[in-house]
Amino acid sequence: MATTRMNGDSSSWKETLEVGIIGLGDMGKMYARRISAAGWKVNACDLPQKYEALKQEFSDTNINILQNGHLVSRRSDYIMYSVEAEYIDRVVAMYGPSTKLGAIVGGQTSCKAPEIAALEEHLPPDTQIVSCHSLHGPSVSPRGQPLVLISHRCTPEATSLVRSILSCFDSKIVELSAKEHDRITADTQAVTHAAFLSMGVAWAANNQFPWEVTRYNGGIENVKINLTLRIYSNKWHVYAGLAILNPSARKQIKQYASSVTELYKLIIERRAEEFTNRIHEAARFVFGSPHSINPLTSDELLLRDEVLDRFSLGSVPKDERTPNSHLSLLAIVDCWWKLRIVPYDHMICSTPLFRMWLGVTEYLFKQPQLLDECIRIALTDDTFRSDDLEFTFAARGWAECVGFGDFGSYRKRFEATQGFFEGRFEEATKIGNEMIATILAHTKD
């Protein structure tokens, strides 16, 4: 039994203990390959119909591919479920009863409330529960990225064993409860995705490829475009799961949509003073001391011009670019202010995407002349009016869809926009990966 065999020093664990992974999608494969490469014995499976193909795919590794989760569960001492968050209950219900006596079990899904509920309900009482969550996608190097560890029902030795297994990622391990995890990731992930998903829907609704349009070129626009395409190149269920299943996420996404709508109404009603005061008050709460925003020098900003300008999908010369009203950025700061969220407090649990989103927001808000220009453009220039209208509809649409908890319509909305951008994903992912690596290398911890 795992608890007995865990006695002894951590180097001997590798010789005796086996790691199980159920679900060999993008994340499960990454986990299996890295953990196996670190010298652990790994048993892994996906759905039975994928057995032959997976055996072939992993034939150059020591990973023991099995037909199903029963076979993985029976022989593994630490078992990790890496399946769609929407299916976690169903899958744990199926394989949980086959769990080896005394084994440690956890999940790698992005939202912990349903995962922990499923593990508690379907696992035998002799098992322990230690879950985790890598706060990055499968194509990003795990080194230095946050990795949340949740010791839910376990001995300190069980936590040590899981820590030891996951140490091969070289990630920054952050110990949280499941509740803390969900509250923080609602702020860092769900609302960030809502903003980029809305940009994609708005561009598609206007039948625009933003990199072909002069008003969407350079600097901040590169980050918006690359990250939006990055999200739409991924699987819909990852974003649907962490938004719909996380109890805190609905409130955040709803507030984001309200912030977008209220700011847009102030713009079209030309209520300049109210609009400006509201932005300044939000800015002071998020970025400044109570009385003033501290402008930063370009060296101090998380992101800098020369970094931002390098990663364009388009080729519009700098002097032909037009300033933007940046409703999406004004609204996120308004949303943080309304919810009393200080995003810097969440850096321990941040994804690369969130750090870049915060980076571009800071870029705008900590350069007063840029913020003033953005406010002036929003209030006086109609160039972005119809784009901002579509963005407002899009943000409201996503909030409604998440609010109804409707996976089916989330999928339809996501895939319709995904179809619009199809064909540009390969290039966008390549540029996006370079951008992420460069920006992360330039940003402070």
Ligand X SMILES: O=C(O)C(=O)Cc1ccc(O)cc1
235 binds, among ligand X, ligand NDP, none (CB under 5 to 8 A by kind): ligand NDP
Concatenating the DSSP letter of every residue in 279-317 gives HHHHHHHHTS-SS------TTTSSS-HHHHTT--SS---
Instruction: Give the shortest CB-85-to-ligand NDP separation in angstroms.
Output: 4
Give me the torsion for CA of 54, 55, 56, 59, rounded to 10°: 120
State phi, psi for 21 to the nearest 5 degrees.
Answer: -130, 120
145 binds, among ligand NDP, ligand X, none (CB under 5 to 8 A by kind): none
Strands (E), 126-263: 128-134, 146-153, 172-175
Which residues in 213-227 are b (16+ Cβ under 10 Å) and which e?
A: bebbbbbbbbbbbbb
Instruction: Give the shortest CB-374-to-ligand X separation in angstroms.
Output: 25
Tell which one of 351, 361, 392, 418 touches ligand X (CB under 6 A). 351
- Residues 27-56 within binding reach of ligand NDP (CB under 6 A): 27-28, 45-47
219 binds, among ligand NDP, ligand X, none (CB under 5 to 8 A by kind): none
Q: Which residue in this structure is represented by tokens 């899958």? A: 91
Q: Is 246 in the site for ligand X (CB under 6 A)?
A: no
Pick between residue 231 and residue 327 the one whose CB is nearest to ligand NDP: 231
Residues 252 and 402: their CA atoms lie apart, in Å, by 11
DSSP-derived pairing of the beta strands 172-175 and 64-65: unpaired
Residue-level length of the chain: 445
Instruction: Give the shortest CB-117-to-ligand NDP separation in angstroms.
Output: 14
Give me the torsion for CA of 22, 150, 440, 189, rounded to 10°: 80
Instruction: Give the shortest CB-345-to-ligand NDP separation in angstroms.
Output: 21
Residues 352 and 223: their CA atoms lie apart, in Å, by 12
Q: Is 91 in the site for ligand NDP (CB under 6 A)?
A: yes
Tell which one of 19, 154, 238, 316 touches ligand X (CB under 6 A). 238
Size, binding site for ligand X by CB under 6 A: 11
Residues 300 and 296: their CA atoms lie apart, in Å, by 6
Site string for ligand X, 55-94 (x = CB under 6 A): ----------------------------------------
Interacting stretch for ligand NDP, rule CB under 6 A, among 7-15, 24-32, 181-189, 249-257? Answer: 24-32
- Residues 105-144 within binding reach of ligand X (CB under 6 A): 110, 135-137
Interacting stretch for ligand NDP, rule CB under 6 A, among 107-115, 143-151, 352-360, 436-444? Answer: 107-115
Pick between residue 85 and residue 375 the one whose CB is nearest to ligand NDP: 85
By the 8 A CB rule, do 414 and 197 touch? yes
- Residues 219-258 within binding reach of ligand NDP (CB under 6 A): 235, 238, 241
Tell which one of 64, 110, 192, 228 touches ligand NDP (CB under 6 A). 110
- Closest listed residue to residue 166, CA positions, set 187, 188, 190, 135: 135
Tell which one of 43, 64, 134, 259 touches ligand NDP (CB under 6 A). 134
Instruction: Give the shortest CB-310-to-ligand X separation in angstroms.
Output: 20
Interacting stretch for ligand NDP, rule CB under 6 A, among 132-140, 188-196, 400-408, 409-417? Answer: 132-140
- Other C-beta atoms closer than 10 Å to the C-beta of 437 total 13
Tokens matching residue 255? 């507030």
Task: Supply the angle between the helices 352-365 and 425-442 in degrees, to the nearest 10.
Answer: 70
Instruction: Give the shortest CB-346-to-ligand X separation in angstroms.
Output: 12
At position 250, the amino acid (one-letter code) is R
Instruction: Give the shortest CB-221-to-ligand X separation in angstroms.
Output: 19
- Other C-beta atoms closer than 10 Å to the C-beta of 277 total 11
Size, binding site for ligand NDP by CB under 6 A: 26
List, as own/partner pairs, every contact residues 373-377 make where C-beta atoms lie below 8 angstroms and the sequence separation is at least 24, other chains included: 373/323, 374/323, 374/324, 374/325, 374/326, 374/329, 374/330, 375/275, 375/276, 375/279, 377/323, 377/324, 377/325
Instruction: Give the shortest CB-287-to-ligand X separation in angstroms.
Output: 22
Interacting stretch for ligand X, rule CB under 6 A, among 13-21, 59-67, 276-284, 347-355? Answer: 347-355
Tell which one of 23, 142, 200, 343 touches ligand NDP (CB under 6 A). 23
Pick between residue 69 and residue 352 the one whose CB is nearest to ligand X: 352
417 binds, among ligand X, ligand NDP, none (CB under 5 to 8 A by kind): none
Binding site for ligand NDP (CB under 6 A): 22-28, 45-47, 69, 82-85, 87, 91, 108-110, 134, 137-138, 235, 238, 241
Binding site for ligand X (CB under 6 A): 110, 135-137, 189, 231, 238, 242, 351-353
